[in-house]
A and B are shown apart, each in its own frame.
Chain A
Amino acid sequence: MTESSSRAERPGAGSEDPVDRALTDALAAERLRIVATLIRTTQDWDLAEDAVADAAERALQRWPLDGVPANPAAWLTTTARRRAIDLIRRADTERTKLAELRAIEELRGSPDPGTNPTFLDDDRLRLIFTCCHPALPMEARVALTLKVVSGLPTGAIARAFLTTEATMGQRLLRAKQKIRNAAIPYRVPTASMLSERLDGVLAVIYLVFTSAYATSVDELADEAIRLGRLLVELMPDSDEARGLLALMMLHHARRDARTVGGELVTLEHQDRSRWDHEAVAEAFGLTQLPGTARGSYRVQADLAAVHATADDAAGTDWAAMVSLYDELLELVPSPVVTLNRAIAIGMSDGPLAGLAALDDLRDEPKLADYHLLPAARADLLARAGLTAEAVVALDEAVALAPSVQDRRQLARRRGELAGDIERGDLKGREQP
C-alpha cells in the first residue's frame, strides 16, 4: 500500500478538473461498498483496500485519455474486482487454492454493486460491526473505522489522535491481525447480541465526534456525522442510531457560535443567529420521528433540541430539561448528568434550588478534578447574589481547567465578578 492510495481513501473536494470531480464522486458513492464486499469475498483487508486504490489510480490514467465512463462508479467497481482477482492470483500467501478459487468465482459472479434489499444484509454494515467489535481495543476500533469505513489516510488519523503515522499504522495492523487470528466474524451480530453490539458501534462514532472537540480537529466531527448518517441509512429501524445522529448534528450546528475571536462562548451567551439552522431543523425532524425505545442518545438529542429550538437562554424550557435529565439519569447514572441536572434546576427553580441540587456532588470522587463543577457553583452563587463566594469558586475552576481556552473563559468571568465587588465596595464608601 502506497500513499498513491490516499486519493482512493479520501475524496478531495472542490476540484475543477472533470476527471478529478467524477472520480471523487464515484469514490464517495461506491468506495465503501466496494471495499466492504471485497473484504467479505477475499477475507483480506489489505488486498481489498489496495484493489480500490489501484482502481482509482487506473481511473486517473485512463479517464483523461478515454473520457470519463458513462457510469464511473460501475467502472470503479469492475476494475477493483478485476484488480482483486489479479492480486489473489499473484499473492504468495498461505491461502488455500480452494478458498482462492471460491473468492475469484464470487468476484466474477456479481459484477454489479447493487444493494441487497434483505434487512441488515449489507456488506457495509458487516464491515462497521467488525471494525467496532468489542474484542478489539477501543482505540483500534476508532482507528479501523476511520481508516476502512471512512477512508481517511493513516497519517490523517494519526494527526487527529496526536500520534505518529508509524504508531497508527501499527495499531491498524494489530487490529487486522486480531480479526484474523481470533476469527472475529464478518457479519451483523445475531439478534441476541445485536442491541449490545449496536451500542458499541454508536459509542465508537460518538467517540470520534467528541474527539473532534477534544482535539479541535473539525474534520473528525464531519466524519462522525457522516458515519451516523450511514448507520441511519443502513439501520433505518434503530431509534438510537437516529438519536445519535440528531445529537451530533445539534451539537455541531453550534460550532460557529462556540468561539468568538478564539475565545470560548458559553451556550447561554452564544449568538444564536450563527447556529446552523438547517442542521438544527433536520436534526429536530429526526427527534420527532416516533420511536419504540428511548435510549441515552435519544434523550441527549432531546436535551440538545430544547436548547436548539429556544430563542435565548431565558426562553429555554428548563422544566422540560430537568425531566429529560431525570430520564437520562435512569438510563446512565453519571455525576456529570447530575451536575447538568442541577444547572437546569438552577435555571428553572432559581439558583438556591440549583445549589441544593449541587450539594449531592460535593464528595463525588469522579468530579474531584472537574472544572465545570466549581464553574457551575460559581454561576449559581453569582446569580444568588453571593458574588464573593462565586469568585472563590471560579478560582477553583480556573485551577482545574483543562485547556487554555477554558482557563481564559473562566478567568474572564472571574474578572467581571471581581469588578462587580470592587464597584460595590466603592459605592459602599461613597455612601457611608
Chain B
Amino acid sequence: MKYMMFVTTDPETPADETGEGTLDIETWVNTYDAAGKRVIGERLRPLEDSTTVRRRGGKVLVTDGPFAESREWIVGFDILDCRDLDEAIEIAAQHPSAASGRLELRPFWPFEDEVG
C-alpha cells in the first residue's frame, strides 16, 4: 500500500518537545530509502511562494498564496510504500516532524478500485 505522508506544521507543538524517539532527517531518509519504503519525498517552499489555480466558467483564475488560510501548512511530503498502515505509522513516528509538527498518512486510491 502506498501512502502520501504530508508533513505539516503544528501550532500546538509544546515548546519543550524533545523529539525523543525520532531520527534526524538524513538518517530517516537514508534508512527508509535503503529499505525501499520511501519512494520519493521533497521539502516544499513556503506559502508565500504558493500559487492557486482554478478554472471557473471556462476562465482560468490564478491567485497568489494557498487555497485556504490556515495556521497549519504543508512543508513537505514523502511517499511511503508499506506492507500496511502499522508499518507506515512506525516509519512516520520516527520522522523528526512527528515531534516538531504533525504527519498525515493518506492511502493512495488505486486506479482499479472504483468502489472506494
Contact = CB atoms under 8 A, between A and B. Distances in A.
Nearest to B107: A182
Contacts of B1: 182-183
Contact of B86 (A94, A177, A181, A193): A193
Contacts of A185: 83-87
Contacts of B107: 181-183
Interface string B92-116: 0000000000000101010011111
Interface residues of A, number: 14
A183 B84 contact: yes
Contact of B116 (A135, A181, A182, A193): A181
Interface residues on B, range: 10 to 19
Interface string B11-44: 0000000000000000000000000000000000
Interface string B69-86: 000000000000011111
Contact of A192 (B90, B113, B116): B90
Nearest to A134: B89
A39 to B, nearest CB: 15
A214 B105 CA distance: 35
Contacts of B109: 181
A193 B115 contact: no
Contacts, number: 37
A184 interface: yes
Given A94-B112, A94-B115, A182-B107, A193 B85 contact: no
A190 interface: yes
A185 B116 CA distance: 18
Contact of B85 (A94, A184, A192): A184
A182 B85 CA distance: 6
A339 B47 CA distance: 48
Nearest to B86: A185
A189 interface: yes
Nearest to B112: A94
B115 A189 contact: no
Most buried by B among A177, A182, A183, A192: A183
Contacts of A190: 86, 90
Nearest to B2: A183
A133 B114 CA distance: 25
A189 B85 CA distance: 11
Nearest to A181: B107
Contacts of B114: 94
Interface string A140-166: 000000000000000000000000000
Given A94-B113, A177-B116, 10 more contacts: A94-B114, A133-B85, A135-B89, A181-B109, A183-B1, A185-B84, A185-B85, A185-B87, A187-B86, A193-B86
26 contacts: A94-B112, A94-B113, A133-B85, A135-B85, A135-B89, A177-B116, A181-B107, A181-B109, A182-B1, A182-B107, A183-B1, A183-B85, A184-B84, A184-B85, A184-B86, A185-B83, A185-B84, A185-B85, A185-B86, A185-B87, A187-B86, A190-B86, A190-B90, A192-B90, A193-B86, A193-B90
